[in-house]
Structure 1
Amino acid sequence: PDEDHAGRTSAAARDGGAASRPGADTAPRGAGATTADPTTEEPAPDDATGAATVTDVIDAPGAARPAADDEHGSPIGAGVRAAETAREARVARRRRRLLERAEVRRFTRRARHRRAAWITAGTVVVVFGASILVAVYSPLMALRTIEVRGTERVDATALRQALSDQVGTPLARIDFGEVKRDIAGFPLIESYVTEEVPPHTLVVTVTERTPVVAVRSGDSFDLVDPAGIVVQSSPDRPEGVPVADVQRAELGSPVFRTMTEVVLSLPSTVRRQVTDVRATTADDVTLTLDDGSTVVWGSPDASDAKASLLAALVADHASRDPDTEVEFDVSAPDNGIVRPAQ
């Protein structure tokens, strides 16, 4: 009995040790089980015979891994998890900052636009004010050159000399009243236009008076424009300009203005043939052509229609009998008459 009890105790110890080893197989207990000698050492498995090692047992399917290899329980796993947590925190903070920044921009858009508009307006005002100050007071925009255009009878050098008192004045401060008074000293100038060309030039474009008729003045002839201004004088009778039968003292009178108005309404082909124009009143203007024919014009009313009718009658007469002097009556523009000269 004592030996049986000792054998059972040794077997239980061996079974308990085997069960404590991971992956160890336990032998079934039965009546026929043999007991091992507790003093006998169990031989180690031989690798050459293909016995399972500790690594094979651990890597076997379904076997539990040691706590040291757990990626969440080991120091390496804890470090990886801490790094991932820190990275996720940084990403979250970055996203939060971006969202906050977008929200700030969205809620401050109107204020930013208003501020930008005020800044732009202020910049424009400052630039405009600075430009005005430079243009008005700075010598950088002072007048240095006076350019005269459109002169034929007017002495351009004399006109520039008359306007030279404006040189050195900024373009924006030129006294155009004084310019007008200076140009008024040239009676051959009918009108003028000034143009400021920054930074230093003033351009004066003049329109000279055009003579319409000539008026006898002693032994010479004065070329006169429609306003009665003598444009120039000539010792010889001018060609292409009719001589008005008026005295110099009558220049600018209603009769004189009527004669010049009739001459200006003539077609250029007919005007070149007119040698004389006379009138005693404003309603009996008569023209004389270079072939000796006369034209009864009458009043200056309907001058365009009369001019067209006269051009047609002259052309027709030239084609029929150009050497015969006749009288063209266009005083009634709807009924032109050609009669022999008296």
Structure 2
Amino acid sequence: MAGSTTAERGERQQESSGPPPARRLRVRRLRVIIILAVALVLLSAGTVWLLYGSQWLRVERVSVSGTTVLTPQQVREAADVPLGSPLISLDTDAVEARLRRKLPRIDAVDVSRSWPHGIGLKVTERVPVLLVQKGGNFVEVDDDGVRFATVSVAPKGVPALQLTLAQPGSRAASLRRFGEERLVREAVRVAGDIPAAVAHATRAVKVRSYDDISLELNDGRTVAWGSSEKGAAKARTLSALMKATPDARHFDVSVPTAPASSGS
């Protein structure tokens, strides 16, 4: 009986030595992929548990900065941040909305997470530029014309807003055309344009109509400002006019290119 050929012996040797190298490589790659996938799932599950289920990353303190009139305790109470809740799931937009709703004095607030256990509230308060007297109290008005707070004691250095609009003629027509809120914003614009040295000495901003706004200073001097238009030019003109005629009692910068002063 003839022996096996060389080809037959090669086939038997290949079968006895296991799968070919390419197949073994594919198996090893599949094992690595499975191991990595399992590790990724375990890592993701651990991360989710750490952020949401563990006691390590939960809200334990709320810090407040930037307050001037408000107290940190007032801000913390209005924010109503749930202590003990997962830091990652805290709705910072909801905290901001609560603060704006409950404390109108707040103009802006930045709510931030301070890992691993803190929430930071950085507050910017509205600053009054005018006061509207209401009975025995004073309503504070900011530079956007927002009436944001009522106080019993007038803040120092903030002029009063006097609206004398309910009168016949052009003043009543101005009220009908622009509305009280628009005229208040015009007064706010004027208050923002007054030169700093004059602003500190201004007792009242009087609004009779859209283009009839005037200032009353603490020493009784008056300034006819006109409308809120060309405020920067009027401010420069008023500063120069006061230096040129320091004894005058009345200044008119309603037309900044043709100012006038009178009285002594």
User: TM-score, normalization: structure 2?
Assistant: 0.69
Deviation at 1:205, TM superposition (A): 0.9
Alpha-carbon distance in 2 for matches of 1:308, 1:133:
64
- The superposition leaves residues 231-276 of structure 1 with CA deviations (integer Å, 9 ceiling, x where unpaired) of 5231xx55311111138xx997111111011101223212112111
Counterpart AA for 1:274? T
Higher strand share: 2
The structure number with the bigger radius of gyration is: 1
Higher helix share: 1
1:264 and 2:195 matched: no
Alpha-carbon distance in 1 for matches of 2:39, 2:197:
63
Alpha-carbon distance in 2 for matches of 1:169, 1:194:
16
257, 261, 264: which one aligns with 1:339: 261
Counterpart AA for 1:189? I
Deviation at 1:214, TM superposition (A): 1.6
Taking the TM superposition and a 5 Å limit, the aligned residue runs for 1:192-203 are 192-203=109-120
Alpha-carbon distance in 1 for matches of 2:38, 2:87:
26
* Paired residue secondary structure (1:216): strand
Alpha-carbon distance in 1 for matches of 2:67, 2:90:
22
Taking the TM superposition and a 5 Å limit, the aligned residue runs for 1:1-342 are 130-131=46-47, 133-183=49-99, 184-225=101-142, 226-234=145-153, 238-246=155-163, 253-314=181-242, 316-317=243-244, 321-329=245-253, 331-333=254-256, 335-341=257-263
Alpha carbons 1:313, 1:328 under 8 Å: kept: no
Query: Does the C-alpha gap of structure 1 residues 230 and 159 become closer, same or farther in structure 2, counting only changes over 3 Å?
Result: closer
* Paired residue secondary structure (1:172): helix
Determine which structure has greater relative contact order: mean sequence separation of CA pairs < 8 Å that are 6+ residues apart, divided by chain length: 2
* Paired residue secondary structure (1:239): coil
Counterpart AA for 1:340? S
Alpha-carbon distance in 1 for matches of 2:186, 2:63:
37
Deviation at 1:159, TM superposition (A): 2.4
Number of positions where the alignment pairs a residue of Structure 1 with one of Structure 2: 222
Counterpart AA for 1:275? R
Alpha-carbon distance in 2 for matches of 1:310, 1:336:
11
* Paired residue secondary structure (1:253): helix
Which residue of the partner structure matches residue 13 of structure 2?
Answer: none
Counterpart AA for 2:111? T
Deviation at 1:166, TM superposition (A): 1.6
Deviation at 1:175, TM superposition (A): 2.3
Coordinate RMSD, CA, aligned? 3.6
What are the ranges of 5 or more consecutive residues in structure 1 without an aligned counterpart?
1-111
Counterpart AA for 2:129? V
